[in-house]
C-alpha cells in the first residue's frame, strides 16, 4: 500500500465528501503524541473498530480539516456508531474506558459525575469538543460527561498528547471530540430499552434532504431509579436516580460548486440525584440545562479551503435538596461565545499550510469579582512530505484576558520504515488557563494565578498488515505551575480555615501505551494496555487516582444473524492519598445481538457479570450486576 501525497490525499477526501450528503467539516480534536493505531488506518480509526477493514481509508481531523489516516501525525483512537451500538453503553465514560490511555473515575453509575483522564493528566487537562465546539464549565474547568447520551453519538475520536498549538487552552493530556448522529435522506431509526434499576430508554432519529443538502434530527430520553451510590456511613440512604433528554441537529447545504453552509446543535436537559459525603444535609440533586449551536460557511476550491464558524455553548446547573422545599442551594452557569476562522492551502504537491484565528468570550453567573473574559488565539501549521518521511510543525499564540499570553508548539516526524512498519516522534507544549473559581471565587480566589504549562515527548511504532493493526507508544509529559488549593493559616468569621489556590505543584508522567486489533479463528480481538508512572515532583508521591496498570480486552464474533461481544476491563490499584490505595478492580460485560431482518434487531446486555464491587472514588461504588434488553428498528 503506497503513501498518498498530502495534496492527493486531501483531494480524494473532498471528492468523497461531495458525493451524496455533504459531510460537516469536522473541526477536530487533536493531541500531539504522534502516531496512530497501526500504520495507516490504525492512526485514525483503531482501537475501536473491529469491523473496520484494513484497506479502508478513514478521514480524521488532526488539523481542523479532514485528513486521510496516513496524513495524521497523532495517536488517534476512534469508536464508530456500530461499535457503540454493540457496546450498548449507559454513559460516554463506558465507551471511553475501552480505549488505551483513557482512565475513568466514577462517583457511581450512569448519571453520576465522572472524571476522565488521558495518559495520566488531570480531568481538566483534556479538551472536549462536540462537533467542533468547545464544551465544559468555565467555573470548574471540567466537562459533565454524565449529561451526554451515547445514543445520540455517531463517533468519538480521542487524540493523545498536547495539541494547544492548534486548539489553545486545556489540551494538555489530549483532545476528545464527539460527533453527533448523521443519517442520509430516507434513513431513520427508533429504539426502546428496559433494564435494571427500572432503566427506560426511548430514541428516534431521521435524515431529511433539501436540495443539495441534508439534515439529521435525533432525540433520546432515558431515566433510571438508580441505586444508593455511597457505600459507607449513612449519608444519604436512598436511591440516586437520573433522567436526561437529548436532542441533536446536524446539517449542511451545498450552495454552489464552491460554497457550503453547515449547522449543528445539541440540547441536553435532565436531573441527577447524588450523595454529597462532605456536606450532609446540603444539596443532593442537580438540574442541568445545556445547549450548543453552530453556524458555518465554507469555501473550497482545488487548492484553498476557508471556513468561518459562529457558535455558542451554555452549561447551566441548579443544585438543591430534593426533600426540601426545592429552593436552589447554588446555581452555576457558563456561556461561551466563539468565532473560529480556519484555512487550508495546498501550496505544492506535498506541502500544506493550515492556519486560523479563534476568539471566544466566557461569561459566568455568580458572585465573582470578574464574571467574563475574552480569549484570542492565532495558529499556523505546516505539513511536508518527502517520499517516506512526513513532517509537521505547528505554532500558536493565545492571549487570555487578565491572565497571561502563551505560545505553544508541536513538532512531529514520521518515517515509513517498510510497508507494514512506521516510526514517529513528536514533542510539544500546552497550557491550561485558570478557571473563574481559581481566580475569583468569593473570599478565596487568587487573581495572581498564571496558566499551568506542559511539555511532552512521544515515540510511537505502529504496524499494519492484512489481519492486524497495532502500535506501541512511549510518552512523557511534564506539567509545571499546577494549581493546588491549600490553607492560608487564616480563619473566616465562623472559625474555619481559609483555603486559596496557588501555582505550587509540578508533575511528571511517563508511560507506555499499547493497542492491537487482530482477527484469529473468526474472532475479532481488541487489546488495550497502559503502564503509567505518574508522580508529584514536589513530594515524590504518586499522583492521586492513577493506576499503574490498566488493561482492556474485547472479543467479538458474528455468525449469520447473531453477534456476541465480551468486554473485560482491569484497573490496577490507585493511590488515594495519605499512603492509602483503592483496590484493583475487574469487570466483565457481555452483549448479545440478534438481527431479525434488515430492519429489526434485538440486544441483551449484561454489565458487571460477576457482580464485582467496583469502588473508584471515596467509597462511591459502581452498580453491581445489571441487565438490559433493547429493541431497535432502522430503515435504510
Closest CA to 43 of 571, 539, 426: 426
Q: What is the pTM of this model?
A: 0.89
- Alpha-carbon span 493 to 491, nearest angstrom: 7
**Would residue 311 count as lying in a domain?**
no
CB 170 within 8 A of CB 126: yes
List the single range of 10-19, 28-37, 197-206, 228-237 with lowest mean pLDDT: 28-37
Residue 511: its pLDDT value, please?
96
- Alpha-carbon span 245 to 51, nearest angstrom: 30
**Would residue 399 count as lying in a domain?**
yes
Average pLDDT on 230-258 reads 87
Q: Classify residue 290 as left (phi > 0), alpha (psi -120 to 50) or beta.
A: beta
Residue 621: its pLDDT value, please?
85
Sheet holding 76-80, edge to edge: 76-80, 153-160, 174-180, 126-130, 133-134
**Residue 405: pLDDT above 80?**
yes
Residue 238: its pLDDT value, please?
82
**Would residue 187 count as lying in a domain?**
yes
**Would residue 474 count as lying in a domain?**
yes
**Would residue 580 count as lying in a domain?**
yes
CB 336 within 8 A of CB 312: yes
**Would residue 268 count as lying in a domain?**
no
List the single range of 25-34, 341-350, 476-485, 515-524 with lowest mean pLDDT: 25-34
Give the domain CATH number at 379. Answer: 2.40.170.20
Number of domains making up the chain: 1
Residue 328: its pLDDT value, please?
63
- Alpha-carbon span 304 to 60, nearest angstrom: 19
Supply the range of the domain harboring residue 580. Answer: 6-207+338-635
**Would residue 538 count as lying in a domain?**
yes
Residue 330: its pLDDT value, please?
80
Tens of pLDDT, residues 547-580:
999 999 999 999 999 999 999 999 999 988 878 8
Grid coordinates given for 167: 486548539
Residue 125 φ/ψ, nearest 5 degrees: -105, 20
440: helix, strand or coil: helix
Residue 395 φ/ψ, nearest 5 degrees: -135, 140
Residue 578: its pLDDT value, please?
79
What share of the chain in percent tops pLDDT 90? Answer: 67
Residue 443: its pLDDT value, please?
83
**Would residue 550 count as lying in a domain?**
yes
**Residue 218: pLDDT above 90?**
yes
| Residue corresponding to grid cell 488515594 | 576
Strand partners, 508: 478, 535
Tens of pLDDT, residues 87-113:
999 999 999 999 999 999 988 888 898
Band of residue 475 on the pLDDT scale cut at 50, 70, 90:
very high
Residue 89: its pLDDT value, please?
95
Grid coordinates given for 356: 486560523
Average pLDDT on 525-534 reads 96
- Alpha-carbon span 221 to 244, nearest angstrom: 6
Tens of pLDDT, residues 377-400:
999 999 999 999 999 999 999 999
Amino acid at each position: 500500500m503506497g503513501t498518498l501525497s498530502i495534496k492527493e490525499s486531501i483531494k480524494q477526501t473532498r471528492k468523497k465528501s461531495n458525493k451524496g450528503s455533504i459531510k460537516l467539516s469536522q473541526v477536530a480534536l487533536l493531541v500531539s503524541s504522534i502516531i496512530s493505531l497501526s500504520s495507516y488506518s490504525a492512526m485514525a480509526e483503531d482501537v475501536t473498530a473491529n469491523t473496520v477493514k484494513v484497506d479502508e481509508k478513514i478521514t480524521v481531523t488532526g488539523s481542523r480539516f479532514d485528513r486521510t489516516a496516513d496524513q495524521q501525525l497523532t495517536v488517534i483512537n476512534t469508536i464508530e456508531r456500530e461499535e457503540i451500538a454493540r457496546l450498548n453503553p449507559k454513559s460516554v465514560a463506558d465507551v471511553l474506558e475501552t480505549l488505551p490511555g483513557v482512565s475513568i473515575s466514577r462517583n457511581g453509575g450512569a448519571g453520576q459525575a465522572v472524571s476522565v483522564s488521558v495518559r495520566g493528566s488531570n480531568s481538566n487537562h483534556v479538551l472536549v469538543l462536540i462537533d467542533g465546539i468547545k464544551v465544559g464549565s468555565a467555573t470548574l474547568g471540567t466537562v459533565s460527561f454524565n449529561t451526554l447520551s451515547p445514543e445520540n453519538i455517531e463517533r468519538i475520536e480521542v487524540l493523545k498528547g498536547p495539541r494547544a498549538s492548534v486548539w489553545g487552552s486545556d489540551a494538555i493530556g489530549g483532545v476528545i471530540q464527539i460527533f453527533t448522529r448523521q443519517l442520509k435522506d430516507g434513513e431513520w431509526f427508533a429504539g426502546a430499552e428496559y433494564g435494571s434499576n427500572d432503566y427506560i430508554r426511548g430514541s428516534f432519529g431521521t435524515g431529511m434532504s433539501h436540495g443539495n443538502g441534508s439534515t439529521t434530527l435525533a432525540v433520546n430520553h432515558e431515566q433510571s431509579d438508580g441505586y444508593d451510590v455511597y457505600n459507607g456511613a449513612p449519608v444519604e440512604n436512598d436511591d440516586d436516580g437520573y433522567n436526561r433528554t437529548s436532542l441533536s441537529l446536524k446539517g449542511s447545504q451545498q450552495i454552489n460548486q464552491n460554497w457550503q453552509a453547515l449547522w449543528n446543535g445539541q440540547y441536553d436537559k435532565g436531573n441527577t440525584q447524588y450523595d454529597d459525603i462532605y456536606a450532609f444535609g446540603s444539596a443532593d440533586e442537580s438540574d442541568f440545562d445545556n445547549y450548543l449551536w453552530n453556524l458555518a460557511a465554507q469555501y473550497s476550491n482545488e487548492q484553498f479551503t476557508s471556513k468561518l464558524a459562529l457558535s455558542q455553548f451554555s452549561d447551566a446547573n441548579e443544585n438543591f435538596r430534593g426533600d426540601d422545599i426545592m429552593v436552589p442551594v447554588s446555581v452555576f452557569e457558563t456561556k461561551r461565545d466563539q468565532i473560529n476562522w480556519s484555512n487550508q492551502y495546498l501550496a505544492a504537491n506535498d506541502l500544506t499550510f493550515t492556519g486560523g484565528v479563534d476568539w471566544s468570550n466566557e461569561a459566568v453567573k455568580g458572585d465573582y469579582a470578574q464574571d467574563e473574559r475574552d480569549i484570542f488565539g492565532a495558529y499556523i501549521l505546516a505539513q511536508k512530505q518527502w517520499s517516506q518521511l512526513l513532517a509537521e510543525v505547528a505554532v500558536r499564540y493565545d492571549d487570555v484576558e487578565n491572565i497571561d499570553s502563551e505560545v505553544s508548539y508541536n513538532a512531529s516526524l514520521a518515517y515509513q520504515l517498510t510497508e507494514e512498519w512506521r516510526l514517529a516522534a513528536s514533542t510539544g507544549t500546552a497550557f491550561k488557563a485558570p478557571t473563574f473559581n481559581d481566580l475569583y471565587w468569593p473570599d478565596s480566589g487568587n487573581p495572581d494565578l498564571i496558566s499551568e504549562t506542559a511539555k511532552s515527548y512521544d515515540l510511537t511504532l505502529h504496524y499494519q498488515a492484512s489481519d492486524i493493526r497495532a502500535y506501541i507508544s512511549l510518552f512523557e509529559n511534564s506539567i509545571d505551575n499546577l494549581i493546588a488549593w491549600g490553607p492560608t493559616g487564616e480563619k473566616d468569621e465562623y472559625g474555619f480555615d481559609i483555603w486559596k489556590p496557588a501555582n505550587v505543584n509540578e508533575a511528571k508522567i511517563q508511560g507506555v501505551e499499547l493497542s492491537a486489533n487482530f482477527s484469529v479463528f473468526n474472532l475479532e480481538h481488541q487489546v488495550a494496555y497502559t503502564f503509567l508512572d505518574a508522580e508529584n515532583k514536589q513530594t515524590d508521591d504518586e499522583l492521586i487516582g492513577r493506576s499503574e496498570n490498566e488493561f482492556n480486552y474485547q472479543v467479538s464474533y458474528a455468525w449469520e444473524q447473531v453477534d456476541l461481544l465480551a468486554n473485560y476491563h482491569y484497573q490496577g490499584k490507585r493511590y488515594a492519598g495519605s499512603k492509602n490505595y483503592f483496590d484493583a478492580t475487574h469487570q466483565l460485560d457481555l452483549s448479545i445481538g440478534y438481527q431479525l431482518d434488515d430492519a429489526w434487531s434485538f440486544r441483551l446486555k449484561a454489565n458487571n457479570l460477576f457482580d464485582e464491587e467496583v469502588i473508584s472514588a471515596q467509597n462511591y461504588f459502581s452498580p453491581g450486576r445489571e441487565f438490559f434488553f433493547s429493541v431497535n428498528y432502522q430503515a435504510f
